A and B are shown apart, each in its own frame.
Chain A
Amino acid sequence: MVQAIDMALARAMADDPNVILLGEDIGVDGGVFRATDGLLKRFGPERVLDTPLAEAGIVGAAIGLAAQGFRPVVEIQFTGFIYPAIDQLANHAARLRNRTRGRLTCPLVVRSPCGGGIRAVEHHSESPEAMFAHIPGLRTVIPSSPRRAYGLLLAAIRDPDPVVFLEPTRLYRAMKEEVVDDGQALPLDRCFVLGEGQDITIIAWGGMVAEALAAAARLAKRGVGAEVIDVATLKSLDADTILRSVEKTGRCVIVHEAPLTAGYGGEIAARIAEDALTSLLAPIERIAGSDTIMPLPRLEQAYLPDADGIVAAAERALAYK
């Protein structure tokens, strides 16, 4: 997936001279995950800017660039380091168009690796997507495959408003998929239905989509048809796709890696309860990280939701009478 991101960045930069990259170690080093590998050489130091170590300053400067018509794409090295920049995102990037009645705009993308599963050190494995989804004026996108990473990142860069683009680190190298560099963006604000199923809906995003698909494959062997939905864009939420699926299946499991309480799964569960309650044949199941600090790598697997947990939740929902 990391190559798909690199490819999307290169494509966006080739298509639009206003697209510039800023971040720590993204130039000479090509990014700590190599998501910007080769881009400095190809596009030069005025379009790939290695910055000082200053997350708030980088995002703040990117807001100034965006207001002047650039389309900056910022890399924050890990989401654990993004918090100083949340002030810039929430108080400025997300509000600039609204507070100037459209006079100044902020076509900015902040990319940041997120989530666990790669045995990283402290502060390198968090899943703070719900925080961003709660900020009005920000889009929050999390791809779950190389193709969707390519298409969604192109869409995010072309979007005239700010987007937080969270990249699950566990997918950077785990997933191999042929990606055609055709410049085709995928729609934002749209969920992706991965495989049709009549019996239960499994809703996930980012790194949890692969676990959901693995769970669906196991359920299929038992004759259970699970429909997996990759939410992909948490904000704005394509609730219709989720509701249509749940109305069909009557049962659902919502999966996320982030802590359970006030997690984005709660929002999806609420939408289902509000608009599809009479279709439900069983209580909504949520499988999520516990409300704890993300453990260090030795206990990481004990924290992360997996296919086993999803299958168990699905079985509970299916058994409910």
Chain B
Amino acid sequence: MTVKFEIDFLRCLDCDGEIVGPLPAAAEDPQFAIRLYRALIRARSFDAKAIALQRTGRLGTYASALGQESVSLGAASAMASEDVLVPSFREHPAQLWRGVSLLELFLYWGGDERGSDFAGPRQDFPNSVPVGSHAPHAVGVALAFKLRRQPRVAVCIFGDGATSKGDVAEALNLAGVWRAPVVFVINNNQWAISIPVARQTAAETLAQKAVAAGIPGRQVDGNDVLAVHAAVAHAVARARSGQGPSLIEAITYRLSDHTTSDDASRYRDDAAVTPHWAEEPALRLRKYLVARGAWGKHEEEQLLAETQLEIDRAADAYLATPAQPVESIFDYLSAELPADLARQRAAALGK
């Protein structure tokens, strides 16, 4: 038996913002690309503020999404509000799009569990820090939708490093067997801390991991938010109509360090990073908008000012938020606190 497969590659906009492929239906509304651009700048500004706070000792270790916001936003913008996002720890652009607040993000990265108690998307999963371990959760969420005959979809985002993990292989396989309405998005930023994709796998593409699971897999230009949106929207529609799961590999580039605790210069030449700045997602989307007369200097300045104000206010609110009371260490462990723990709780409170 010979098994053959092809992995297609989708791109709508090139680095100059020129249209090079079919645009998604949503882009027929000129406001859609503007919304994406605004969300991208908002996420990027949050990113800059988070790093500034970390560098001045006012936030914990933080994982930047600089240059790869488009993967996150392309995926989130293809979801319905009642769908469920199951993200890794570098997807705050998607979280912001879905209604997680800036204050919640600051709280989470500032070391406060309340940051994962989203007031907006109540059923979305919190960040998954153990790499790839959340992929099976998305399958379970999707299976719940299927068993309850709900036309909803789970969208799971993980990085290139996660594709080496058994959890991801198991999740893809389970999703295929159960025809679960789930879309897996690989945020391939080409670096898993210090390990480039070439040393992560001998496979030519990450998308072809879908082939072994018997589900569709494709590649998309991850720096092209319209292309990511198009690919995920197609996969989401497919899942919602009962046609099962898909895998999308969105190829982008991690312009930042892995986290604020990392120093990428130990393993990656700055010179190798430079050309990727020309490919980053905000640039091409802005060029696309400007060429259509939908965006200009005035809009840009206004957006940056508005965004900065909003983010500074959220940061101030975060810094003014007192830590949770000590008893909160115990009070969310289980629905009812067992007697044994009640004693430890009392001891922790000095009672």
Binding site for B on A (CB under 8 A): 20, 46, 51-52, 54, 56-70, 72, 84, 87-88, 91-92, 97-105, 136-137, 139, 159-161, 189, 236-240
Contacts and interface: CB of A to CB of B under 8 A. Distances in A.
Contacts of A237: 340
Contact of B114 (A61, A66, A101): A101
Nearest to B334: A161
Contact of A70 (B144, B171, B177): B144
A60 B116 contact: no
Given A67-B141, A68-B144, A68-B145, 6 more contacts: A60-B134, A60-B171, A64-B86, A66-B140, A100-B117, A236-B339
A47 to B, nearest CB: 8
Contacts of A97: 332-335
A101 B117 contact: yes
Contacts of A54: 170, 173-174
A136 B141 contact: no
Given A98-B113, A99-B126, A57 B139 contact: yes
16 contacts: A56-B170, A57-B170, A57-B171, A57-B174, A61-B137, A63-B136, A64-B137, A65-B143, A69-B144, A92-B134, A97-B333, A99-B126, A104-B126, A137-B333, A236-B339, A238-B340
Which interface residue of A51, A63, A84, A91 has the most chain B CB atoms within 10 A? A63
A105 B333 CA distance: 10
Nearest to A55: B170
Given A92-B137, A98-B332, A56 B117 contact: no
Interface of B: 86, 113-114, 116-118, 122-123, 125-126, 128-130, 133-145, 147, 154, 166-167, 170-171, 173-174, 177, 328, 332-335, 338-341
B194 to A, nearest CB: 23
A238 B154 CA distance: 40
Contacts of B140: 60-68, 72
B143 A64 contact: yes
A240 to B, nearest CB: 7
A88 B116 contact: no
